[in-house]
Amino acid sequence: MRAIRAVLTLLIGVAVILAGSGLLGTLLGVRGQLEGMSASMLGWIMSGYFAGFVTGTFWVPRLIRRIGHIRAFSALASLASVATLLHGLYVHPIPWLILRFAAGLCIVGLYIAIESWLNEQTANEERGHVFSAYMTTTLIGLGLGQMLLLTGDESRLELFALASVLLSLGLVPVAMTRVSEPPLVEAARLGLRRLYSISPLGVIGCVFSGLGAGSFWGLGPVFAAELGMGPGLVAPFMALTILGGMLMMWPVGRLSDRMERRRVLAWVCVFASLGAASTALLIPLGKWGVLLGGFAYGCFAFSIYSLAAAHTNDHLERSQVLEVTSSLQLLWGSGAILGPILAGALMQWVGPKALMLWIASTALVPAAFARYRMSVSKPLPMADQGEFVPQFATSPAALEMHPEADEVADPESPSAASEPAGAAAETGEAPEARPEA
């Protein structure tokens, strides 16, 4: 608890920023539907956020090296707040697409800044506790943001202004920290072929987790609004889904520490798929069926990325954790960009229920692939499995707090990517010596 108290103000800042970001994401779906924007168009707009997010992971570190950490942080903070407010001033698909891209780029810059400060204030032996608290805080902030939709009229500017204010307020604890300018953490990334050779299931799990999660975050509010659910029900639908993820992430993680992780991942994907499908199938029962289905989906969907990343980490040397997990985040982001576009087109063609059926299908693919991997490779001995740590795709800076990342390769030294991954690759033995993921 002492470690958490030391970074409490920063965690509060994270929660406030994500409350503003979460409010804006849901507000755009509801407002766009009110303005008559098609589901397909809204899918493209929402994918813009993830495109900016992924772009920012490459561009922001270069900006920081050029102008300094604090100057870059201040500039991105101002731009994020302005972009949020401009969404409400220019309600049109083209400005929204551009602004969503800008917002995604700026938000990942704020992630990098805050996570770097968290790293600076956290002792090595406490990183695991702080990392878990940080990931839990992200869900709390996003959940609170959904309920703020109930505080104003979605057809006016006031909720956009509130989201902008929250983004600005959340910066205060970070800007007032007494810690000196933190070092820049920029993890290298592995090529797709190399990463797939280390963990086929990790790659498939992260890509399809991104497809489903990006579709839900981008179009979940549109789905609820097109069913005739007003803001008074759209907000609880999104918040209950997030609450389900918060409640079940730790039990699922603990279970994966005691059983073969591939088996747990397969079943979690199956249950997430059933939850998403039930959300669509229970539409005739009215609002309570939809709310219950959303909660059931969230209970399992939010653990898929964490389980895929944890399974991949089980097959790594500690020095490889940063670059491999950073690559998995990029794969998640790529799926999140594509997901809303495909889901929006399906909603336009079939109707709102197509969203949850699409999400259900994205969860079934890693479930089936996990079963296939279990049939062709032996399980990793339980003694070799690492401890489950909840993860979300934020920025490479957060990975420095990961408890498995005690040995990080010097960025000036040869990358760990040039080294064999896992004991089997190092010794040249067959996969049975160190089962392939």
**DSSP per-residue codes, 62-131:** HHHHHH-HHHHHHHHHHHHHHHHHHHHH--SHHHHHHHHHHHHHHHHHHHHHHHHHHHHH--GGGHHHHH
- Domain assignment present for 194: yes
**pLDDT: is 237 or 68 the higher one?**
237
The reported pTM is: 0.85
- Domain assignment present for 337: yes
What's the pLDDT at 188? 63
d(CA 23, CA 143): 9
> What CATH number is given to the structural domain containing 385?
1.20.1250.20
What is the number of H-type helices and E-type strands within the chain? Answer: 18, 0
From residue 413, how far is each of 119, 191, 317 by CA, in Å?
22, 18, 16
Contacts of 213 (CB under 8 A, 6+ apart): 301, 305, 332, 335, 336, 339
The two three-digit tokens of residue 233, written as one number: 């029900």
What's the pLDDT at 433? 33
The two three-digit tokens of residue 243, written as one number: 């609450």
Nearest 5 degrees, angle CA 244-CA 315-CA 128? 50
What's the pLDDT at 323? 74
In terms of residues, how long is the chain? 437
- Domain assignment present for 427: no
- Which has the minimum average pLDDT: 143-147, 202-206, 426-430? 426-430
Average pLDDT in the chain: 83
- Domain assignment present for 417: no
State the residue range of the domain holding 144. Answer: 2-408
Would the pLDDT of 78 be above 90? no
What's the pLDDT at 437? 45
Per-residue confidence band for 293, with pLDDT thresholds at 50, 70 and 90:
very high
- Domain assignment present for 418: no
Would the pLDDT of 208 be above 90? yes
Per-residue confidence band for 362, with pLDDT thresholds at 50, 70 and 90:
very high
Structurally, the chain folds into a number of domains equal to: 1
What's the pLDDT at 79? 92
- Domain assignment present for 275: yes
How do residues 109-163 score in pLDDT, each as one tens digit?
Answer: 888 877 777 777 766 667 667 777 888 888 899 999 999 999 989 989 999 999 9
- Domain assignment present for 435: no
Quick one: which H or E segment has residue 228?
none
What's the pLDDT at 404? 57
What's the pLDDT at 319? 62
d(CA 337, CA 29): 16
φ and ψ at 38, to 5 degrees? -75, 160
Per-residue confidence band for 14, with pLDDT thresholds at 50, 70 and 90:
confident
**pLDDT: is 413 or 311 the higher one?**
311
With beta carbons less than 8 A apart as the criterion, state whether 172 and 15 touch: no
- Domain assignment present for 90: yes
